[in-house]
A and B are shown apart, each in its own frame.
Chain A
């Protein structure tokens, strides 16, 4: 029989009692709604902050972080298209005439 220390047995007893309650709380609809509200609030606050920063940069005729982000997304989309075309060309080259 495994020699389990007393402190470990005590922890396991507490954990068996607490874990189901914590899981129940974390998996509840209320927790999910609260998480969603927090995520939306953070996103809203972030968007407002970046909008203000963008206006400041634009006043100085300089690109804002949002402009650079938009460029990155466009380059990313272009990269993906090139990748897809490259894979398609490889596929077509393999097919017999």
Chain B
């Protein structure tokens, strides 16, 4: 039988709940009024190159100690500021503090001018140009590359089609390899979907269609988020993080129609696994990639499930290749405690061991 709570602990709990309810009211009013905390993507940066809607950013740092520079290739889904969410909770900030010269290739918000883009445009166009620009600006012969999610796919296509690329290493974060083990995403894309029926007048898959598609992966998650928010509405820190995260999760971007068609084809043909991938008219194989390689994947990733990401380490041909599996979700790899305690230290250590570090 449990002991009865002491009168003081009951009083303390009541007092705490009264205080929390007052804070809930205050934060609730702020949320309803649209009062936002400090914005996202705050780390100072400069645009060093642009082409179309794509931009290459160089983050400012006075204490670069590691070379070659690090080029992060973002995905074609969502906005890239998840990598620089908030001061103190920023993937980019951690890398800068570790002494890296950090660049990020952001593909912007596609419009009708991007509808015809294919994976070739990225693997053979944007990525090589960005790598060259990084070399020019940093005055370094080589570049470390890191791709997140579909940015990892683009990075792999680039590395596999440009075997003489000036890459010192390649890191992929939660990147799919087996497109027929994407779970619900595979059912959505491969189950006889006629992609032409979801393209808008610009020739792209609209952002709201992509958002609804991701929402079907966990249809009740939005309600659970509101319940979580109500429970923690008294916490300024939680509310700020909630606003940043939900803002990002709902801020989808359109997907070029050309890329969408190819992704549906990839789900049907599974070319990375079957080595039938064609880039720029050439058949490419991940097994031809021999530069040092690290893949970080998340065991609780509901967007890129573990079975879809797991084969990647076996497909890449590098003799110096490593895999890190974390008990985290798709975004948990990048933000929060897991990122700070495990993801980032592992990546930093991997990169530094294969880079020049000045004391």
A residues lining the B interface (CB < 8 Å): 3, 5, 8, 11, 15, 18-19, 22-23, 26-27, 29, 32, 36, 39-40, 43, 69, 72-73, 75-77, 79-80, 83-84, 86-87, 90-91, 94
Contact = CB atoms under 8 A, between A and B. Distances in A.
A86 B227 contact: no
Pick the 3 closest A-B CB pairs, nearest first: A76-B112, A79-B113, A76-B113
A69 B202 CA distance: 8
Interface string B228-260: 000100000000000000000000000000000
Range, interface on chain B: 35 or more
A80 B54 CA distance: 13
B298 to A, nearest CB: 19
29 contacts: A3-B13, A15-B220, A18-B220, A19-B220, A22-B220, A27-B184, A27-B187, A32-B191, A36-B193, A36-B197, A39-B198, A72-B112, A73-B203, A75-B112, A75-B113, A76-B114, A76-B116, A76-B202, A79-B52, A80-B114, A80-B116, A83-B125, A84-B121, A84-B125, A87-B51, A87-B126, A87-B128, A87-B129, A90-B132
A12 B295 CA distance: 34
Contacts of B61: none
Nearest to A65: B201
Nearest to B224: A15
Nearest to A72: B112
B208 interface: no
A32 B188 contact: yes
Given A27-B187, A32-B188, A83-B51, A39 B197 contact: yes
B125 A8 contact: no
B143 to A, nearest CB: 14
Contacts of B132: 90, 94
Contact of B219 (A5, A22, A43, A77): A22
B267 interface: no
B48 to A, nearest CB: 14
Interface string B86-110: 0000000000000000000000000
B46 interface: no
A30 B224 CA distance: 25
A39 B193 CA distance: 11
Contacts of B125: 83-84, 87
Given A15-B220, A39-B198, A83 B191 contact: no
Nearest to B231: A8
Contacts of A5: 231
A27 to B, nearest CB: 6
Given A75-B113, A76-B112, A76-B115, A83 B52 contact: yes
Given A15-B220, A26-B219, A80-B113, 13 more contacts: A23-B220, A26-B216, A27-B216, A32-B191, A36-B192, A36-B193, A36-B194, A43-B197, A72-B202, A76-B116, A83-B125, A86-B51, A94-B132
B218 interface: yes
A72 B202 CA distance: 8
